[in-house]
């Protein structure tokens, strides 16, 4: 990053007038944020409008309609909350859960833990169903705990656990939620736009995401969706939603037909999100999902041929948008990440919590899920490992990746 200083002389004295921050260009191949299409950046730079301007209200309608397509839902309440993905999590939990409600949470990573934290702050009676970090939670364990704790208000799961790269299949959990008549609340921050979510088909009652991962929009918005069943429960709350800013009972009146003022919407961010989601719909959802799957398969093949293909999750539980691999014995994982950033301007991430220093998290999300990034990552990682004296076969690695990409 460069700080460019402009100076103005005044009465013979040099006076610093401003500092302009010029960020370095990075290839963001971590767990988010991802790089964005230039068309999204152009939308972000469009003229600001008032948040009640008729033209902006039309953009809001477009945005909601496009989000419904990507969520796979007809839910009327489908809109972006002002805030990052964690604001989406908090929105959902503080609105649909009240003090004393019994909630079952599947925990197999950091973001399941965060759900528990927020729910405890709300005053819910939380029952954790755990799996080791790197494994999905067994739906039978969720069923057992949910029946033991009945009646249960909600079952909460993370569809794509960003800290571990684990995919939690939703259909078996949805079946459990129906059995015990509980809301199914889903975190799809890292899955929306990169793999099917299919809210209506699966039977998800409430879901939330973030703009900065597979949707390939800058951080700052959290799409949420809720069905009529969930909204009926919201309307029957025993008390006020504890967060004024995230209160859906008020915000939905702004995004609905009333256009009742609540807070000033982040106008330009909504321009950007509308454009980002439009690009996904324009490409075709199935094409987008196939692109993610193909590029991740190529990356996996290349990493295995490179000798660093020891993945944290088992094969049937991995994501198409994020690979989490164990750092080889004797390799300084932080030094590798610093080398990639310094020499290739390429960012990957290390582990969180108990996985700190033990794994790399490599993202192929949204706009960044493309063959050239697969080849770049493999080549850069080979260079970083060779600097530490690790013998790697880059030729075999690239050949394995290209075989998948050409198939």
pLDDT band per the 50, 70, 90 thresholds, residue 17: low
- pLDDT for residue 159: 98
The distance from CA 153 to its chain's CA centroid, rounded to whole angstroms, is: 25
- Decide if pLDDT at 198 tops 60: yes
DSSP per residue over 344-389, as a string?
Answer: H-EE-EE--GGGTTTEEEEE--GGG-SHHHHHHHHHHHHHHHHHTT
Average pLDDT value over all residues in the chain: 94
The distance from CA 238 to its chain's CA centroid, rounded to whole angstroms, is: 32
The distance from CA 393 to its chain's CA centroid, rounded to whole angstroms, is: 33
Instruction: Give kind and range of the element (H or E) at residue 324.
Output: strand 322-326
For the domain made up of 284-406, the CATH class stated in words is: alpha beta
- Decide if pLDDT at 257 tops 90: no
According to CATH, the topology of domain 38-282 is 3.40.640
Q: What are phi and psi of 212, to 5 degrees?
A: -95, 5
Over residues 367-380, the pLDDT tens digits come to 999 999 999 999 99
Q: Could you tell me the two tokens for 120? A: 């405890």
- Decide if pLDDT at 323 tops 80: yes
Over residues 112-131, the pLDDT tens digits come to 999 999 999 999 999 999 99
- Decide if pLDDT at 3 tops 80: no
* Alpha carbon distance 325, 263 (integer Å): 42
- pLDDT for residue 87: 96
pLDDT band per the 50, 70, 90 thresholds, residue 7: very low
Q: Give the single-character DSSP code of 58.
A: H
- Decide if pLDDT at 397 tops 80: yes
Q: Could you tell me the two tokens for 3? A: 């700080």
Would you give the end-to-end CA distance of the chain in angstroms?
Answer: 40
Contact predicate 322/160, CB 8 Å: yes
142-146, long-range: CB < 8 A, 24+ apart: 142/104, 142/106, 142/173, 142/176, 143/176, 143/179, 143/180, 145/104, 146/104, 146/176, 146/177, 146/179, 146/180, 146/182
Contact predicate 173/139, CB 8 Å: yes
What pTM, to 2 d.p., does this model score?
A: 0.94
In this structure, the number of other CB atoms found within 10 A of the CB of residue 286 comes to 9
Instruction: Report the pLDDT averaged over residues 191-216.
Output: 98
- pLDDT for residue 130: 97
Over residues 141-160, the pLDDT tens digits come to 999 999 999 999 999 999 99
Residues of the chain with CATH 3.90.1150.10: 284-406
Burial 11-46 (b: 16+ CB within 10 A, else e): eeeeeeeeeeeeeeeebbbbbbbbbbbeebeebbee
Instruction: Report the pLDDT averaged over residues 326-337.
Output: 96
Nearest Cα neighbor of 270 from 115, 63, 110 is: 63
% the chain with pLDDT above 70: 95
Contact predicate 257/60, CB 8 Å: no
- Decide if pLDDT at 9 tops 50: no
Instruction: Report the pLDDT averaged over residues 268-281.
Output: 98
Instruction: Report the pLDDT averaged over residues 287-296.
Output: 98
- pLDDT for residue 22: 82
Residues of the chain with CATH 3.40.640.10: 38-282
- Helices then strands, counting H and E runs in the chain, come out as 14, 16
* Alpha carbon distance 301, 281 (integer Å): 29
* Alpha carbon distance 174, 37 (integer Å): 34
């Amino acid at each position: 990053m460069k700080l460019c200083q402009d100076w103005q002389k005044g009465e013979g004295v040099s006076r610093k007038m401003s500092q302009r921050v010029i960020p370095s260009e990075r290839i963001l191949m971590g767990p988010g944020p991802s790089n964005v299409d230039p068309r999204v950046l152009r939308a972000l730079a469009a003229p600001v409008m008032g948040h009640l301007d008729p033209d902006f209200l039309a953009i809001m309608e477009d945005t909601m309609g496009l989000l419904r397509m990507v969520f796979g839902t007809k839910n009327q309440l489908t809109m972006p909350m002002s805030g990052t993905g964690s604001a989406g999590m908090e929105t959902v939990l503080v609105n649909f859960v009240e003090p004393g409600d019994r909630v079952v949470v599947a925990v197999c990573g950091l973001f399941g833990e965060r759900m528990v934290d927020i729910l405890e702050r709300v005053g819910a009676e939380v029952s954790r169903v755990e799996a080791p970090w790197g494994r999905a939670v067994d739906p039978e364990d969720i069923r057992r705990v949910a029946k033991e704790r009945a009646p249960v208000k909600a079952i909460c799961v993370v569809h794509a656990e960003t800290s571990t790269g684990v995919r939690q299949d939703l259909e078996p959990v949805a079946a459990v939620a129906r059995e015990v008549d509980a809301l199914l609340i889903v975190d799809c921050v890292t899955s929306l736009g990169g793999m099917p979510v299919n809210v209506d088909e699966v039977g998800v009652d409430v879901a939330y995401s973030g703009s900065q991962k597979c949707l390939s929009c800058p951080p700052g918005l959290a799409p949420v969706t809720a069905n009529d069943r969930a909204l009926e429960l919201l309307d029957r709350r025993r008390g006020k939603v504890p967060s004024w800013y995230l209160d859906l009972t008020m915000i939905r009146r702004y995004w609905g037909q009333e256009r009742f003022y609540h807070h000033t919407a982040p106008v330009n961010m909504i321009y950007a999100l509308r454009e980002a989601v439009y690009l996904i719909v324009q490409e075709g959802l199935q094409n987008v999902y196939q692109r993610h799957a193909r590029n991740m398969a190529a990356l996996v093949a290349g990493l295995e041929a490179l000798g660093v293909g020891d993945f944290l999750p088992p094969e049937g539980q991995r994501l198409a948008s994020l690979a989490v691999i164990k750092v080889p014995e004797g390799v300084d994982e932080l030094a590798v990440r610093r080398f990639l950033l310094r020499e290739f301007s390429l960012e990957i991430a290390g582990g969180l919590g108990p996985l700190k220093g033990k794994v790399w998290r490599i993202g192929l999300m949204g706009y960044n899920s493309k063959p050239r990034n697969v080849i770049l990552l493999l080549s850069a990682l080979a260079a970083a490992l060779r600097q530490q004296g690790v013998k790697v076969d880059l030729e075999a690695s690239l050949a394995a990746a290209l075989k998948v990409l050409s198939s």
